[in-house]
């Protein structure tokens, strides 16, 4: 089945440790995105990538890093520099249409808790 | 700058009631795209609809309908004869033609009680 997978579903880390969240898609989508969601809040864009080996900062990139070595994969590293990393992280992807990027499809999310 | 406002933080209805979720947006783009997503308790966002700014026709899909009014910058979502399975957080989102970025509202938590 085509879709987006994120792993793990739940992640616990100690303060000061870096942690990497996985995102893979088999939809052949060009663009991939990472969002952060806090309780009672909408989604905020962390990073996005339109092509392999290229990515751009979103609204809240500080304390995060990404890579896009393959079209299917867009891992997100939450570094120790992120001051409040406990949140729900969602990965998304979209295809390029005639009038720009089409709707984004989302993975199941990773809930990160920093102890 | 783009902005999406969902003024209703929480709505609670009884099964079979109709319910409308409001969405008001701001953008300077003349061409833009509006979206609705559903987030059930499992957490994954489910795409419901995309509406282009140059197409003001309202749309109906089963029990779901969407009312797009450019004059009031609104894109409201109505669920007819609500069901318990409709309980979720619903997000309205906006993308301008000049970029790829989705701007989300803060969401409306809909609870449908049996």
Summarize pLDDT for A5-63 with one digit per residue, the tens. Answer: 999 999 999 988 999 999 999 999 999 999 999 987 789 999 999 999 999 999 999 99
Answer yes or no: are the C-beta atoms of B4 and B93 closer than 8 Å.
yes
Give per-10-residue mean pLDDT for chain B (114 aa). Answer: 94 97 95 95 92 86 93 96 97 85 93 96
Averaged pLDDT, A78-105: 87
Q: Contact A43/B91 with Cβ under 8 angstroms?
A: yes
Chain B partners within 8 Å of A109 (Cβ): 43-44
Query: How many other CB atoms are there within 10 angstroms of residue B111's CB atom?
Result: 14
Q: Spell B2-15 as b/e; 16+ CB within 10 A means b.
A: bebebebeebebee
pLDDT for A103: 87
pLDDT computed for residue A102 by the predictor: 79
Neighbours of B78 (CB within 10 A): 16
**What is the pLDDT confidence band of residue A115, given thresholds at 50, 70 and 90?**
confident
What residues in A contact B51, CB-CB < 8 Å? none
Determine contact: B45 vs chain A, CB below 8 A. Answer: yes
Categorize the per-residue pLDDT at A1 as very low, low, confident or very high, splitting at 50, 70 and 90: low
pLDDT at residue A79 in the model: 93
Phi-psi region of A48 (alpha: psi -120 to 50; beta: other; left: phi over 0): beta
Residue that wins the pLDDT comparison between A60 and A2: A60
Residue A63 pLDDT = 95
Which two tokens mark B4? 């999406």
Which of B33, B47, B101 comes nearest A45 by C-beta?
B101
What CA–CA distance (Å, rounded) separates B15 from A24?
38
Q: Indicate the pLDDT class of residue A2, thresholds 50, 70 and 90.
A: low
Measured in angstroms, the CA of B5 and the nearest CA of chain A are apart by 10
Inter-chain CB proximity A92 and B45 less than 8 Å: yes
Give the whole-angstrom CA distance, residue B90 versus residue B112: 13
Determine whether the interchain pair B101/A111 forms a contact, defined as Cβ–Cβ distance below 8 Å.
no
Please say whether the beta carbons of A23 and A74 come within 8 A: yes
Q: Which of A29, A34, A42, A45 has the most B C-beta neighbours within 10 Å, making it the best mutation to test the interface with B?
A: A42
CA distance A80 to A76: 13
């Amino acid at each position: 089945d085509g879709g987006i997978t994120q792993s793990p579903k739940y992640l616990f880390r100690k303060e000061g440790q870096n942690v990497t969240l996985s995102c893979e898609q088999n939809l052949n989508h060009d663009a991939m995105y990472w969002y952060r969601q806090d309780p009672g809040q909408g989604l905020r864009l962390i990073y996005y990538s339109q092509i392999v080996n290229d990515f751009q900062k979103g609204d809240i990139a500080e304390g995060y890093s990404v890579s896009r070595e393959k079209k299917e994969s867009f891992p997100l590293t939450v570094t120790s520099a992120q001051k409040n990393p406990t949140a729900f992280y969602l990965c998304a992807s979209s295809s390029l249409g005639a009038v720009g990027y089409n709707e984004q499809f989302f993975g199941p999310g990773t809930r990160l808790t920093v102890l | 700058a783009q902005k999406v406002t969902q003024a209703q933080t929480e709505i609670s209805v009884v099964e079979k009631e109709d319910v409308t979720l409001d969405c008001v947006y701001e953008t300077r783009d003349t061409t833009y795209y509006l979206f609705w997503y559903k987030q059930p308790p499992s957490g994954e966002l489910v795409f419901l609809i995309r509406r282009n700014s140059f197409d003001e026709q309202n749309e109906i899909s089963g029990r779901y309908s969407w009312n797009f009014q450019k004059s009031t910058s609104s894109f409201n979502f109505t669920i007819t004869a609500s069901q318990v399975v409709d309980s979720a957080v619903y997000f309205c989102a906006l993308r301008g033609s000049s970029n790829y970025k989705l701007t989300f509202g803060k969401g409306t938590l809909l609870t449908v009680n049996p």
